[in-house]
Amino acid sequence: MPLEIRVPSLGESIVDATIVQWLKKPGDPVARNEPVVELETDKVNVEVPAEQAGVLESITRNEGDIVEVGEVLGIIAEGVEAAPAEEAPAEEVAEAPAAAPAAVQPAAAPEPVTAGARRAGPEARRLAAERSINLDDVPGTGPGGRVLPQDVLAYQPPAPAAAPAPAAAPAAERPAPEPAPAAPALEIGPNGRGEREERVRLSRRRQTIARRLVEAQQTAAMLTTFNEIDMSAVMDLRARRRDEFEKRHGVRLGYMSFFTKAVVGALKAFPEVNAELDGDELIIKHYYDIGIAVGAEEGLVVPVVRDADRKTFAQIEREIRELGQKAHDKTLELSDLMGGTFTITNGGVYGSLLSTPILNHPQVGILGMHKIEERPVVVNGEIVIRPMMYIALSYDHRVVDGKEAVQFLVRVKELIEDPETLLLDG
């Protein structure tokens, strides 16, 4: 019997979504659990799978439409038998010569979804379709051989064999070249810039990011304080332990695990920074779910490392890597993004020397990391060159006073500059 494709539950507080693209068109066969349509919510993209095998009979909502949870998107019908072939006219039958009886051929099965399509995300499939690339031919570099968008962009199909050049016609027989058509005159718009402008609709996620950033600035008494960290000790420790760490744990030892542990240690010392303001009440959280800001294609997302205080350096590094890959592949789930008690953002990976991060509401604190740069500093009365990093803490002044904010940053600085203490205080 026909099955309605409905917008699934999208998670807490999310009631609608935008149809990004239909992955099938009416008349296409679909397999059970095969993605049929991709939706975009405020936080993640969601692929809606077919709950039964059959044929996509109709589509009721189009790409770009905003749809609500439970709304019907299309209809999947059970497999339809092929229509009988038309009979030839009697005259043609009489005149046709007798032919040897042919073996009966079974009806062709619906074309299966290729292995490449199954192991590729929606962005990779879109890029492949735009470039007329068969995903089965693209080597996947993601987990389990998953085809990533960059794999599609880097793929170079084999060049077809060159056809022999036709013999040149005698000069006398060659027609004179036609004059090139005159270029159309550029239409000058009201601003004098003509057609050198492009109007692009903001994605749903970018609209949400814009709205929430403005809300954070309008609803919180936001202030930022700064400090700087000598990264020599951490860099020396990484250089000495990096190979052994990666060999033992299968993941690189980066800076984020050190800062995550340092933040947890500082939050334990200053619990008001790990809180949330709810009306006239302050909710102080005695667990440490640290959001790690990740720059994705359509905007910043903040997946959460749960219970960071209970995880080892290797577990934190592995989880951050997995969450970053999921953000790149657009496979983050709502559970990866919900909650979070404090956020770390690292603008240094893009070369930022200093910035003032904006709060991730309703959190009351966010730490900004920046580029490591060698600078002259005074140590024991002597000028020396050290790898230094500026750090910034933006905080809600309604909850956190300036004294506590400065002391919080100083505690982070102490833990990073003496990383052995992270084993005790982190």
Burial of 219 by CB count in 10 Å (0-12 exposed, 13-18 middle, 19+ buried)? middle
pLDDT of residue 100: 39
Mark whether 401 is an active-site residue.
yes
Catalytic residue list contains 336 = no
Task: Give the pLDDT confidence score for residue 96 in this predicted structure.
Answer: 39
DSSP label of 215:
H
Choosing from 137, 307, 397, 418, the catalytic residue is 397
User: Which residues have C-beta within 8 Å of that of residue 240, sequence separation ≥ 6?
Assistant: none
Measured between alpha carbons, how far is 151 from 393 in angstroms, rounded to an integer? 37
**pLDDT in the model for residue 179:** 59
Comparing CA positions, the residue from 348, 365, 199, 188 lying closest to residue 266 is: 365
Contacts of 330 (CB under 8 A, 6+ apart): 44, 45, 121, 122, 123, 296, 297
CA–CA separation, 133 and 113 (whole Å)? 15
pLDDT at position 117 = 55
114/6 Cα distance (integer angstroms):
25
φ, ψ at 365 (rounded to 5°) = -155, 145
- Cα dihedral sign, 338-314-273-349: negative
Collapsing DSSP to helix, strand or coil, 224 comes out as: strand
User: What is the sign of the dihedral through the CA atoms of 10, 14, 20 and 21?
Assistant: positive
What DSSP state is assigned to residue 120?
A: B
| Sequence-distant contacts of 300-305: CB under 8 A, at least 24 apart | 300/209, 301/43, 301/44, 301/327, 301/332, 301/337, 302/337, 302/340, 302/343, 302/360, 303/327, 303/332, 303/336, 303/337, 304/336, 304/337, 304/338, 304/339, 304/340, 305/260
Percentage of the chain with pLDDT > 70? 77
CA–CA dist 64, 19 (Å, integer): 5
What is the structure's pLDDT at 155? Answer: 83
Whether the pTM exceeds 0.75: the reply is no
- Helices and strands, counts by H and E, the chain: 11, 19
Is the separation of the CB atoms in 122 and 147 below 8 Å? Answer: no
Question: The tokens of 217 are what?
Answer: 């600035």
Output 129-135 pairs: Cβ under 8 A, ≥24 positions apart.
133/157
**257 DSSP 8-state letter:** H
Is residue 93 within 8 Å of 50, Cβ to Cβ?
A: no
Rounded Cα–Cα distance for residues 222 and 400 (Å): 10
Q: CA torsion 55→59→63→68, rounded to 10°? A: -110
Q: Domain 221-425 maps to which CATH number in 3.40.630.70, 3.40.50.300, 3.40.50.620, 3.30.559.10? A: 3.30.559.10
**What's domain 3-79+112-154's architecture?**
Beta Barrel (2.40)
Q: Say if 3-79+112-154 and 221-425 have the same CATH topology.
A: no
Label each residue of 75-102 as H, E or C.
EEECCCCCCCCCCCCHHHHHHCCCCCCC
CB 252 within 8 A of CB 412: no
If you ran DSSP here, which 8-state letter would residue 426 be given?
Answer: -
Mean residue pLDDT across the chain = 81
Domain residue extents for the chain: 3-79+112-154, 221-425
Dihedral (C-alpha) 125, 126, 132, 133: value to the nearest 10 degrees? -30
Task: Report pLDDT for 295.
Answer: 84
For the stretch 315-355, pLDDT in tens is 999 999 999 998 888 788 878 888 899 999 999 999 999 99
Could you say which residues of the chain have pLDDT below 70? 11-13, 43, 79-119, 122-123, 126, 142-144, 159-194, 298, 423-426
Catalytic residue among 137, 236, 307, 401: 401
Kindly state the helix (H) or strand (E) to which residue 46 belongs, with its residue range.
strand 45-49
Q: How far apart are CA 336 and CA 356, in angstroms?
A: 25
Supply the pLDDT for residue 208. Answer: 75
Choose among 71, 81, 85, 77: nearest CA to 26.
77
